[in-house]
Structure 1
Amino acid sequence: MSDRAVQKPIWAALVVPSAACGLALAPVAGWMFGPLAAATVFAVCLADAILLGWVVERFRRDASAQLRRPELRGEIGYQAGVFRPLLAEALLQIEELEQRAAVAAQAKTELEARVHLNRRRLRHFVGTIDATSEPVILTDASGRVLHANPAAGRLFRPEETAARKTGTLTESELSEIPPVVQAIRQVLDRPLGASRTVEFSVDGAAGVTHRAVVRPITDDDGQLLGTSVQIDDVQHETAERQRHAEFVSSVCHELKTPMASIRAYTELLRDGDAETDEERAELCSFIDSQVDRLTRLVNNMLNLARIQSGVVKVQRDDCELNDVLQPAIETVRHLAEEKNIRLLPELSDLYLAVHADKDLLRQAVINLLSNAVKYTPAGGEVRLRSRLAGDRCVIEVKDSGMGIPAECLPRLFERFYRVPRNNSAAAGTGLGLALVKYIVTDLHNGSITVQTEVDTGSTFTISLPFGHLDKLPRRDAAKKTIETT
């Protein structure tokens, strides 16, 4: 109640009785002493009431001010007179209420601070989930979706390319992938601590495209609150597994063929089917050729594996490109002469500066030249060119051989792949071009392309950055420095 509201009943209690007393005494004074006496009596009574009211109101205001200031409450007792015991009790009640109010205010402040902190933590938690590139879904204990980050929305709604802000996902959308819904239900029905992993595909894709890991969410008391669903795109992993399986299958096939031949020829020798020295020498020659085939296969596999795994340290130095190409020509020259194939070097007169591992780059060029010689008929020609094209050094290996069908080009640089129509022309492991591509693209930041026409020939083109290390573009030079350290 306000001071103005309290003031009204106090003035009414003092002024009204005094005014009534004055009205009662005024007629008596007027009868005894005249009208002037009656007016005087009424005025005195009214003034006394007003003065008394003013004094009481003054005391009330001082007491109210002292009650609001605990350090002044002791002075009230000396002024209260007969009301001292009652006022003391009132002061005790006031102090107790103040203490309760202070405790309540502190509790309210702590609760507000805790709520604010929890809200910040929740916003941080939700923001972290929404910023995750992998789809994440949170459900309650009944399996209803509580939150889904934008990545999950884009997974279930591929048409949404922009970042979603709401983080909502309906149960009907989630039900489009039954394995995930079933995994959530199994986790909710299982004992606490059990998780579930399922693999599935979306958009009608063939094979497995995603993996979902469903984990239970519990509170501090171990009560189940819901589940978290983390979905990973495993298409790359699935493709890697497929490539690994194909690699193992190809290795087994490549090893099995020469080993079967060796075994067959050995049995012929052991059974005495070769009656003459010439026949035995021919069988031994066949066995030797198959051993060579196995040796090439194993060496190529080891070289490729060592380079890719980093066992073979890449030593890149500033060098001149023609200094790398000339020894490669000499290495292959005797193979060309055996088949009566003209090996024609057409090297540039310019200084072609490159930053390369000379041994590895030379091996790549030797592989291309060897393939060109193997698949070129006798009397043909193989050309090795070097030239400068803008800011790139170009190496070309051109032959007049069998050529490559267009349908074989997409797989030409795969490990163990060989062009079917050319298999009978020469022996091979199918690893040479894969090794060339890795050396050029992965180790030298270059590129390799092929132009071919069946029964006319092929041209393999290698493009490398021009310049020594200190002349290369900044990003390229930094990458080369990292690779060589």
Structure 2
Amino acid sequence: MFRSKLSLALPLAACVAWSALALAWLTEAAAAGGHASSFRAALLGGSVTIAIAVAAVVWRNQQNARRSIQRQLEVLCHIDPRTLADNASGAVPTLDASDAWREVFEQVHLTLADYAAKAQEAELARATAEMRAQRNAQRAEYLEHILSEMPQPIVAVNEFDDVLISNAHATQLFGFTGDPADYRPLDELVKCEQLVELLRETRRRKSLTGRSCEVELCDAGGCTHWYSATARGFAIGTSESAPHGAVAVLREIDSLKDLQRRNAEFVSSVSHEIKTPLAGIMAYVELLADNEVDDDAAREEYLQVINSQADRLQRLVDNLLNLARIEAGVVEVHKTTLSLNELLEEAMHVVTPAAEQRRITLVSDLSELYLGVFADRDMILQAAINLLSNAVKYTPEGGTVTVRSRLHGHQVQVDVADTGVGLSPEDCQRVFEKFYRVKKDQKMAAGTGLGLALAKHIVEDVHGGTLAVESTLGKGSTFHFMLARSAHTPIAADRDALQPALAQTAE
């Protein structure tokens, strides 16, 4: 501003000085009163006029230049920087070609346009980086949510064996406390040396292949669980010298351990079941082979024992094969219309020797009606034998086993009730599982834990019926199954003749 005022003041001062000098000469000439002096005075007066006019023109040009510069500066101060990069729209006014400031302002425009282009690039880069940061933050949030929702505990360590990541299930299992962002040594948080060593070795080996082991851990409630821990290494970065960490995923295998235990018990039970009759058969066969039995009655008794033990083995093998076939869906089913009461009587006849040996009374309470069912004869007979055999096994000597059949609308119900040791509510829920045997009664009778499971498969899966149990601990159990009545079941025309039998259906 000071320089602009000075540039205007200097020409004006020069004009004023020249005019004052001319005026002084004019005054001196007038005082002399000569013609030459008059000419000279006129000349000086014209010079003064010209000087004043020139000064006025210069002043006006200076004012125009000042206003042009001011306008340019105001436009540059208020213009959108995005329009500086392209002046084709005329957003920035240009100076006249004769303006001394034109070249300067054109250079200023070019510089500002370059800065505007760079600012646009920086803004675009900032927006891109911000969007990328938002996506990364969203991806991290998704990953954290996915990890927290995974049912398996997950723990990751960095190159210093500090806990890097742990999901909610791992935090709950190991009882982690404090801020998850604060890295803490693994051995301080996890009190399982086997799992700590697994992660350490996986990290040290820098191997991307998985290593696994089974560990037993105690949860916050004090309950012990078995887990299969699988650890895998990873590189924290892309360079060859990047540090390596390790992550472990734990999968609860309590059910697998229980299955392994039950399989072991099953193998043991099956071995015992097979070994016991085989030992009896081999003993009696050896006696007969050595001709150590002279009495025909004793020889006949030995043969009966061998035959009964062979039947026992046959039933065991049949149970195993039938259960495997039913579960595999390859069992052959031959359904016909048959009398359910006749099958129940045959099943009672099969288990009568075992009941007499334990002095258990078998009671038949079968309906007087013809209870026809559309079923596979051998399978339903096998299910009935299994239920009766189970009742005889777990009924103390002198007890009673009752078989009852009734007609309920379009269904036939069979009850096998005993006065045995009974089942707890927990045992009632699991008694139909494969290989399951009540622990407190295992010494009472040998078995494989397949009989009831096979009976349930036969009744429900093959014939579409239902099989359930009701029991009171210490008083006995009642197993009852229901099957659909055959559509070909004859109905007597004389209802009065069937009144005693129909009365049983209301019981």
The normalised TM-score by structure 2 is 0.65
- Measured after TM superposition, the shift of residue 303 of structure 1 is 1.9
Q: Distance between the aligned counterparts of 1:312 and 1:286, measured in 2?
A: 32
| Residue in 2 that maps onto 1:384 | 404
CA pair 150-28 structure 1, distance change in 2 beyond 3 A: same
**What amino acid is aligned across from residue 470 of structure 2 in structure 1?**
T
**What amino acid is aligned across from residue 150 of structure 2 in structure 1?**
T
| Residue in 2 that maps onto 1:309 | 328
CA pair 253-49 structure 1, distance change in 2 beyond 3 A: same
Does residue 72 of structure 2 align to residue 53 of structure 1? no
Does residue 154 of structure 2 align to residue 136 of structure 1? yes
3-state DSSP class of the match of 1:117?
A: helix
Equivalent in 433, 449, 462 of residue 470 of structure 2: 449
Contact 1:25/1:41 (8 A) holds in 2? no
3-state DSSP class of the match of 2:198?
A: helix
| Residue in 2 that maps onto 1:114 | 132
Structure 2 unaligned blocks of 5 or more: 25-47, 487-507
- Measured after TM superposition, the shift of residue 249 of structure 1 is 1.0
Contact 2:365/2:404 (8 A) holds in 1? yes
| Residue in 2 that maps onto 1:201 | 216
Identical residues among aligned pairs (%): 26
| Residue in 1 that maps onto 2:383 | 364
3-state DSSP class of the match of 2:330?
A: coil
- Measured after TM superposition, the shift of residue 460 of structure 1 is 1.2
* Equivalent pairs, count: 436
- Measured after TM superposition, the shift of residue 365 of structure 1 is 3.6
CA pair 176-444 structure 1, distance change in 2 beyond 3 A: farther
| Residue in 2 that maps onto 1:3 | none
Contact 1:415/1:430 (8 A) holds in 2? yes
* Deviation by residue 1:291-319 (Cα, 9 ceiling, x = unmatched): 122111111222222223333378999x9
3-state DSSP class of the match of 2:258?
A: helix
| Residue in 2 that maps onto 1:213 | 230
| Residue in 2 that maps onto 1:329 | 344
Contact 1:216/1:228 (8 A) holds in 2? yes
**What amino acid is aligned across from residue 53 of structure 1 in structure 2?**
R
Contact 1:355/1:467 (8 A) holds in 2? yes
CA RMSD of aligned residues (A): 5.3
Where do 1:99-110 residues align within 5 Å?
104-110=122-128
Contact 1:201/1:210 (8 A) holds in 2? yes
Does residue 478 of structure 2 align to residue 460 of structure 1? yes
Does residue 86 of structure 2 align to residue 69 of structure 1? yes
Does residue 127 of structure 2 align to residue 126 of structure 1? no
3-state DSSP class of the match of 2:347?
A: helix
The normalised TM-score by structure 1 is 0.68
Contact 2:277/2:310 (8 A) holds in 1? yes
Where do 1:398-417 residues align within 5 Å?
398-399=417-418, 403-404=420-421, 410=427, 415=435, 417=437
Structure 1 unaligned blocks of 5 or more: 1-8, 469-485
Larger Rg, first or second structure (1 or 2): 2
Q: Distance between the aligned counterparts of 2:401 and 2:138, measured in 1?
A: 75
| Residue in 1 that maps onto 2:245 | 226
CA pair 348-189 structure 1, distance change in 2 beyond 3 A: farther
Contact 2:351/2:385 (8 A) holds in 1? no
- Measured after TM superposition, the shift of residue 152 of structure 1 is 1.6
Contact 2:263/2:435 (8 A) holds in 1? no
3-state DSSP class of the match of 1:79?
A: coil
- Measured after TM superposition, the shift of residue 155 of structure 1 is 1.6
**What amino acid is aligned across from residue 122 of structure 1 in structure 2?**
A
* Deviation by residue 1:260-306 (Cα, 9 ceiling, x = unmatched): 22222233233332345444444333322221221111112222222
Contact 1:332/1:366 (8 A) holds in 2? yes
| Residue in 2 that maps onto 1:480 | none
| Residue in 1 that maps onto 2:202 | 187
CA pair 313-460 structure 1, distance change in 2 beyond 3 A: farther
3-state DSSP class of the match of 1:226?
A: strand
- Measured after TM superposition, the shift of residue 114 of structure 1 is 3.4
CA pair 431-82 structure 1, distance change in 2 beyond 3 A: closer
